[in-house]
Amino acid sequence: MRRAWLLLLSLLFTAVAIQASAAPTPATLRWRGDFTTAHSLADGLAKAWARDAGGKLEVDSFNTISGIDQALDGKVDIAGSARPPFSGQPQESGLVFTPLAWDALVLITHRDNPVHNITLQQLYQVYMGYTTNWSQLGGPDQPINLYSIASPLDGIEFDLRKFLYGRGDQEIAAPRLYLNTQQLQIAVGLDPDALGVTAYSNVYRNPRLQMLRVEGVKPDARSIRDGTYPMLIPLYFGSNPNDPKAAEVRKFLSFAEGPDGQAVIRAHGMIPYADGAALAASADARVTWIAQRLAAEQSAGKIAMNGPLAAPGATYSQGASIAPTSPSTQAARARMQARDARGNKAKPAPPTTDTDNSEGGGSE
């Protein structure tokens, strides 16, 4: 009897082991996108997905365009983006953009810079190359070293230009170019005369940087949550409905939108998109308010909302933005450096790393 009982237990253990070994292994999902969505969303969600759901998400942060293109081509399963699809790139409509979190654009400078506030009109003038000295903003008589991301179609820069000029692909006057906001933030933290734009979630704990008030409103958790800070942005994950792993992607996105995913979002200083219904409802009103604040400059003929503008010494064209290492991009950078050398008006542009490596983060 005892022997029969032991045999039965052995058969049961064998059956359980066979069943466990036959259980399907969750598909590994591949993610690629900009530094902000990687740093603020993808990295944390990947850890939570593995811990709580047994799934695997490989995160490769580089830039928005590469993530979108590779998701369309089937090379990755999810693209991270700090902007919605761009109508000037019709192929982007092939992805489903799922908003996961509310973040904010913040203007950053060195922590010791005595300027603490900037208006939208001043921002317009700076990025168009009309305002070039901190004294014009109430600061010292020093040149404004404006740092930017090489590709205007990448999320953070795109969003800022859309707010200021009505078009995300607007050219601007910013010769100091980097591939991603991570590199830009490091540079701004070392330069007392620097100015740049990034996401609140990237820098709100960075002691080297100062986040400027915009129109007197301090960017913080409260002003973002109540919508009084004007430049709020959603962060998106884009997915291809034709992806062979579309079912697993849907499971992951449901996880990201659920309680465990929302906990990750809150831990990174952001608001889960579902919790920001009032922010979504007031998005058009914020855009209108910004346009009204810019009306004085618009009436002076310096702003043509939704129309092309010529910025003195503007950065390269929209076409070059798609491929930062292309000959046209390199030639544009060389022209800007030559112009700066002739005019002796600015410090030499710092080198831009054009290698595709995940350690450097993704451009915005």
What confidence score (pLDDT) does residue 153 get? 84
User: CATH number of the domain at 26-102+233-278, please?
Assistant: 3.40.190.10
Residue 345: phi and psi, rounded to 5, are -105, -10
Q: What are phi and psi of 180, to 5 degrees?
A: -155, 165
What's the pLDDT score for residue 323? 34
CA atoms within 13 A on the CB side of 144: 30
Residues 149, 181: contact at Cβ < 8 Å? yes
Q: Taking phi first (over 0 means left), then psi (-120 to 50 degrees means alpha), and beta for anything else, what does residue 315 get?
A: beta
One fold for 26-102+233-278 and 104-231+280-360: yes
Q: What is the pLDDT of residue 358?
A: 31
| Residue 14 to residue 266: CA distance in whole angstroms | 44
Per-residue tokens: 198: 């990034």
The torsion angles phi and psi of 236, rounded to 5 degrees, stand at -120, 150
- What letters, b where the CB count within 10 A reaches 16 and e where it falls short, cover 155-190? bbbbbbbbbbbbbbbbbbbbbbbbbbbbbbbebbbe
Task: Sketch the domain layout of the chain as residue ranges.
Answer: 26-102+233-278, 104-231+280-360
What's the pLDDT score for residue 10? Answer: 57
What DSSP string runs through 54-88?
--EEEEEESBHHHHHHHHHHTS-SEEEESS---TT
Beta strand 232-239 with 78-81 is: antiparallel
- Please name the residue that has the structure tokens 């466990």: 20
Residue with tokens 């990174």: 268
Quick check: pTM over 0.85? no
Residue 27 phi/psi, 5° resolution? -65, 145
What gap in Å lies between CA 127 and CA 107, rounded to an integer? 12
The dihedrals phi and psi of 61, each to the nearest 5 degrees, come to -90, 125
Contact between 145 and 195 under an 8 Å Cβ cutoff? The reply is yes
* SS3 call for 357: coil
Residues 6+ apart with CB under 8 A from 334: none
Q: Which has the closest alpha carbon to 332: 195, 156, 197, 148?
A: 148
Instruction: Give the integer Cα–Cα distance in Å for 149 and 169.
Output: 12
Chain-centroid distance, C-alpha 181? 8
Q: Under DSSP, is residue 217 helix (H, G, I), strand (E, B) or coil?
A: strand
Residue 106: what are its φ and ψ, rounded to 5°?
Answer: -130, 140
Task: Give 268-313 pLDDT, tens digit per residue.
Answer: 999 999 999 999 999 999 999 999 889 866 666 555 444 445 555 5
**Strand (E) or helix (H) holding 209:** strand 209-211
CB 315 within 8 A of CB 172: yes
DSSP 173: -
Considering the domain 104-231+280-360, what is its CATH architecture?
3-Layer(aba) Sandwich (3.40)
- Using DSSP's 3-state secondary structure scheme, residue 322 falls into coil
Res 1: pLDDT: 55
| pLDDT tens series, the chain, 364 aa | 556 544 544 545 554 444 444 445 678 999 999 999 999 999 999 999 999 989 999 999 888 999 999 999 999 999 999 999 999 999 999 999 999 999 999 999 999 999 999 999 999 999 999 999 999 999 999 999 999 998 768 899 999 999 999 999 888 988 889 888 999 999 999 999 999 999 999 999 999 999 999 999 999 999 999 999 999 999 999 999 999 999 999 999 999 999 999 999 999 999 999 999 999 999 999 999 999 889 866 666 555 444 445 555 554 333 333 333 334 334 444 544 554 455 444 433 333 333 333 333 333 4
**pLDDT tens digits for range 329-340:** 344 445 445 544
Give the pairing of strands 145-149 and 176-178: parallel
